[in-house]
Structure 1
Amino acid sequence: MKQNDLVVGQRWISDTEPELGLGIVVDLDARAMTVFFPCADDTRVYAKLSAPLTRIQFMVGDKINDSDEQPWSVEHVVAQDGLLSYDVINAEGVQKRLMEARLSAQLHLSRPRERLLAAQVDSRAWFALRQAALRERLQQARSPVRGLAGARVGLIPHQLSVANSVANRLSPRVLLADEVGLGKTIEAGLIIHAQRVQGRAERVLILLPDSLVHQWLVEMRRRFNLAFSLFDLERCAAMAEVGDNPFASEQLIIAPLSLLTDHPLLQAEALNAPWDMLVVDEAHHLAWSPEASSVEYDTVAALAAVVPSLLLLTATPEQLGVESHFARLQLLDPARYPSLDEFMDAHEQWDETRALADALLDNQLNAEQSKVLSTQLADLTLDLSTETGRKQALNALLDRYGLGRVLFRNTRAAVGGFPARASHPVLLDTPECYAPWLAKGAIWPETRVDEETFLEQDPRVSWLTGWLKSHRRDKCLLITRTAAIAEALETHLRLREGIRTAVFHEAMNLLERDRAAAYFAEPEMGAQILLCSEIGSEGRNFQFAHHLVLFDMPDNPDQLEQRIGRLDRIGQTETINLHVPLLAGSAQARLFRWYGEALNVFAQCSPTAQNVHESFIADLKPLLRPSGSEEQLDQLIIEARAERELLEAELAGGRDRLLELQSCRQDIAQPLVEALKTQDNDSRLDELMLAAWEAFGVHVDDQGQPRTWILQPGEHQLIDAFPGLDPDGMTVCADRDLALAHEDWHFLTWEHPMVQGVLDWMATHTQGMVQVAVLRNKSVKPGTMLLEAWYQPSVLARRDLALDRVLGHEPLRILADINGRNLAAQVSAANLGKQLDVPDAKLARSVIKAHRTEAEKLVSSADAAAEAVLDSLREQALVAWHTLEYSELQRLQALAKINPSVREAEVTQQRDRVAAGEQALRDVSMQLMAVRLIIAA
Structure 2
Amino acid sequence: MTIRDYPWEPSYATSDIRDDGKQVDVLHDFYIPALSRATRYDRVAGYFSSSSLAAASQGFSRFIENGGEARFVVGMQLDPDDAAAILQGDEQRASQAMLAELASSQQWPSAMRHGVELLAWMVANGYLSLRVGLRVHAKDGSPQPLDYAQDGYLHEKWAILGDGQDELYISGSLNESRTALAINAENINVHPSWEDWGRKAIPQKHRNFKALWQGNHPAIRTFSLPEAVEAELVKIARNAGSLREIDGTPMATHTKQVREKDELTPSFAERLRFALLRLAPLLPGGERVAIETTPIEPWPHQRFVANRLLETYPRNHLLCDEVGLGKTIEAGLAFRALWLSGRASTIRVFAPASLTSQWLVEMAEKFYLSFVRRTSRKGRWERIDLLDGEPMQGQGQMFDAPLEIISTGLVINRHGGRLLANLPETDLVLVDEAHKARRQTPDNQTVMPRFNKLYQELQGALYGKSRTLLLATATPMQLNRVEAFDLLKLMPSAGAVQFSEDLCEIFYRVRDKLIHQEPMAHYEGEWLCRYLNNVRSSSPEQWHFVNEHVLSPFGKTGLEDFTDRSLEPMIWDEVQPALSLLAPLGRSMLRHTRSLLRAYQREGLLNANLAWREVAPSIIPLGGIERDVYDQLQEYCADLASHMAANMEEGRQRAAIGFYLSFLRLRFASSFHALHCSLKRRLDKIQQTLDHKAQQVATSDGSREELEELRDDEVEGLVLKHRTESDLTWEQGAVSRLIATMDKLPATPRKMRQLLEHIDQRRINSSDRVRQLVLFTRYTDTMEYLHEELRRRLPGCPIGTFSGAGGTLRRAGEFQPERMDRTTIKQRFVAGNIDILLCTDAAAEGLNLQSADLLINFDLPWNPMMLEQRIGRIDRIGQHHTQIQVLNYLYQGSVEEVVYSRLVKRFREALTVSGELQFSLLPIQPEDFEDYAKAEGEEGKIDEEELFRRAQEHAKRIQERQQLTEFKAEEQKAAYEHLEAQQRREPLPVSLESIWRIISESAYLKALGGGVESFAQGDAFRLVDVPGVPRDTLLTTSRELFEHGLGAEDRRRLHFATYGDPVFEKLLDYMLQPFEAVLAAWQTRKPLSALQLGGQRWTTADDLLESELPEGGEIELVARAQRLPGRQDDRVGRQQKVMLDAAAASLAEQKLKPTPDTPNNQIAELDRFRADVNQRHGQRVHLKFDAPDRNGMLALKDTLLWPVREKAAGLQVDADPLLLSATRDVIYRQLGDMKKDSRTGHEVAKRLRESAASMS
TM-score (norm 2): 0.47
* Residue 475, structure 1, aligned to residue 667, structure 2: no
Asked whether the 8 Å contact 1:149–1:751 carries over to 2, the reply is no
Partner of residue 543, structure 1: 850
Cα pair distance change 1:497/1:613, threshold 3 Å: same
Cα distance in 2 for partners of 1:795, 1:700 equals: 30
- State how far apart, in whole Å, the 2-side matches of 1:265 and 1:831 are: 58
Q: How much has 1:421 moved relative to structure 2?
A: 2.5
Q: Which amino acid aligns with 2:337?
A: A
- Which digits, 9 at most, give the CA deviation of each residue in 1:676-726, with x for residues without a partner? 9996662552442673983896877837345444867x5xx464x3xxx4x
Given candidates 614, 621, 646, the residue that maps to 2:933 is 621
Q: Which residue of 2 aligns with 1:682?
A: 993
Matching residue of 2:273: 132
Matched, 1:179 2:322: yes
Report the secondary structure of 2:308's partner residue: helix
Task: Kindly provide the CA deviation profile for residues 531-554 of structure 1, in whole angstroms up to 9, marking residues without a partner as x.
Answer: 112323233232222211111222
Residues 287/562 of structure 1: CA separation in 2 closer, same or farther (3 Å cut): same
- Does residue 735 of structure 1 match 2:1038? yes
2:1056 is aligned, of 747, 753, 757, to 747
After TM superposition, give the deviation of residue 431 of structure 1 in Å.
Answer: 5.8
Deviation of the 1:173 alpha carbon: 1.5
Residues 1:376 and 2:563 are matched in the alignment: yes
Per the alignment, residue 580 of structure 1 pairs with 888
Please state whether the residue corresponding to 1:665 is helix, strand or coil.
helix
Quote the Cα distance in structure 2 between the aligned partners of 1:793 and 1:224.
23
Return 5+ residue gaps in structure 2 as ranges. 1-103, 108-237, 240-260, 383-394, 443-447, 518-545, 602-609, 635-664, 678-741, 764-769, 809-818, 1047-1052, 1098-1105, 1138-1191, 1193-1256
CA-to-aligned-CA distance 1:187-206 (integer Å, 9 cap, x gap): 11111111112211111111
Q: Is the 8 A contact 2:778 2:861 kept in 1?
A: yes
Residue 567 (1) aligns with residue 874 (2): yes
Match of 1:691 in 2: 1002
Match of 2:966 among 642, 648, 656: 656
1:191-230 to structure 2, matched below 5 A, reads 191-230=334-373
Q: CA deviation at 1:530?
A: 0.3
Offset, 1:224 = 0.4
Structure 1 partner of 2:47: none
Alignment match, 1:327: 486
Counterpart of 2:449? 291
User: Where does residue 310 of structure 2 map in the other structure?
Assistant: 167
- Percent of pairs identical after alignment? 21
The corresponding residue for 1:490 is 787
Q: Does structure 2 conserve the Cα–Cα contact (< 8 Å) formed by 1:179 and 1:410?
A: yes
**Against the structure 1 CA distance between its residues 735 and 370, is the aligned structure 2 distance closer, same or farther, given a 3 Å change threshold?**
closer
Report if the CA contact (8 A) 2:827-2:1044 is conserved: no
1:407 counterpart residue number: 589
1:60-75 correspondence runs (5 A):
none
Structure 1 SS opposite 2:293: coil
Which structure has more RCO (C-alpha within 8 Å, separation ≥ 6)? 1
1:644 to 1:128, Cα distance in 2 relative to 1, 3 A: same
What is the alpha-carbon distance in structure 2 between the residues aligned to residue 528 and residue 624 of structure 1?
43
Map of 2:505 onto structure 1 = 344
Alpha carbons of 1:812 and 1:260: their partners in 2 closer, same or farther (altered >3 Å)? Answer: farther
Q: Give me the whole-angstrom Cα distance separating, in 1, the residues matched to 2:933 and 2:294.
A: 44
Contact kept? 1:180, 1:607, Cα under 8 Å: no
CA distance 1:437–1:493, shift in 2 (3 Å): same
- 1:297 and 1:676, CA in 2 relative to 1: closer, same or farther beyond 3 A? farther
Superposition map of 1:420-499 within 5 A: 420-430=612-622, 432-439=624-631, 440-441=633-634, 442=665, 443-444=668-669, 446=672, 447-449=674-676, 456-472=747-763, 474-498=771-795, 499=797
In structure 1, distance between residues paired with 2:380 and 2:1080: 43
Stretch of structure 1 that moved more, 317-326 or 677-686: 677-686
1:633-660 CA-to-partner distances (Å, cap 9, x unmatched) read 6644653564455345435554522899
- C-alpha displacement at 1:518, in angstroms? 3.1
1:557–1:610 contact (8 Å) kept in structure 2: yes
The residue type paired with residue 630 of structure 2 is: L
Q: 1:553 aligns with which of 837, 849, 860?
A: 860
Distance change in 2, residues 1:528/1:680 (3 Å): farther
Q: Residue 148 in 1 paired to residue 457 in 2?
A: no
Inter-partner Cα distance in structure 2 for 1:272 and 1:581: 45
The answer to whether 1:596 aligns with 2:899 is no
Q: What is the aligned counterpart of 2:397 among 236, 246, 252?
A: 246
Check whether the contact 2:580–2:967 (CA below 8 A) recurs between aligned residues. no
Cα pair distance change 1:638/1:279, threshold 3 Å: closer
Question: Which AA in structure 2 matches 1:733?
Answer: T
Look up the SS of the partner of 1:155 in the other structure. Answer: coil
Q: 1:123 to 1:811 in 2, by over 3 A?
A: farther
Q: Deviations over 1:444-486 (max 9, x none)?
A: 2513458998783213323322322332463211011221221
Structure 2: distance between partners of 1:170 and 1:703: 41
Distance of 2:582 and 2:933 partners within structure 1: 49
Which residue number corresponds to residue 1167 of structure 2?
none
How far has the Cα of 1:586 moved from its partner? Answer: 4.8
| Superimposed CA distance per residue, residues 868-889 of structure 1 (whole angstroms, 9 cap, x where no aligned partner) | xx9xx98xx88xx7xx989x99
Query: How has the CA–CA distance of structure 1 residues 390 and 291 changed in structure 2, closer, same or farther, with 3 Å as cutoff?
Result: closer
Distance across 2 between alignment mates of 1:798 and 1:352? 56
CA contact (8 A) 1:149 1:750 kept: no
Question: Which of residues 1073, 1079, 1087 is equivalent to 1:802?
Answer: 1087
- Aligned to 2:868, the other structure's residue is in SS state helix
Q: Secondary structure at the match of 2:356?
A: helix
Within 5 A, what are the aligned runs for 1:821-836?
A: 830=1108
- Alpha-carbon distance between aligned partners in 1 of 2:904 and 2:1037, rounded to the nearest angstrom: 43
Q: Say whether the 8 Å CA contact 1:204–1:253 is kept in structure 2.
A: yes
Do structure 1's residue 517 and structure 2's residue 829 form an aligned pair?
A: no
Q: d(CA) in 2 for partners of 1:810 and 1:656?
A: 52
How far the C-alpha of 1:796 sits from its partner, in A, is 8.8
* Contact 1:739–1:746 under 8 Å retained in 2: yes
Task: Give the SS at the match of 2:430.
Answer: strand
CA shift in 2, pair 1:574/1:682, >3 Å: same
Q: Provide the rounded CA distance (Å) in 1 between the counterparts of 2:851 and 2:1057.
A: 22
Task: Give the direction of change, closer, same or farther, for the CA distance of 1:571–1:810 in structure 2 (3 Å limit).
Answer: farther
Superposed, 1:878-917 pairs within 5 Å as none
Give how far 1:759 is off: 3.9
Tell me the secondary structure at the aligned position of residue 246 of structure 1. Answer: coil
Structure 2 CA distance for aligned equivalents of residues 136 and 516 of structure 1:
29
- String of CA shifts for 1:879-911, please: whole Å, max 9, x gaps: xx7xx989x99xx99xx99xx99xx9xxxxxxx
1:846 matched residue in structure 2? none
**Counterpart pick for 1:314 among 449, 473, 480:** 473
Kept in 2: contact 1:476–1:530 (CA 8 A) = yes
Q: Which runs of structure 2 are paired with 1:715-864 in the superposition (5 Å)?
A: 717=1025, 719=1027, 721=1028, 725=1029, 731-742=1034-1045, 746-749=1055-1058, 752=1061, 754-759=1063-1068, 762-763=1071-1072, 765-766=1073-1074, 802-804=1087-1089, 807=1090, 812=1095, 830=1108
The question of whether the paired residues in 2 share the 8 Å contact of 1:478 and 1:529 is answered with yes
1:808–1:237 CA distance, 2 compared to 1 (3 A): closer
Q: What residue is the counterpart of 2:956 in the other structure?
A: 646
Q: Is the 8 A contact 1:706 1:735 kept in 2?
A: yes
Structure 2 CA distance, aligned partners of 1:287 and 1:594?
31
How far did 1:233 drift? 1.6
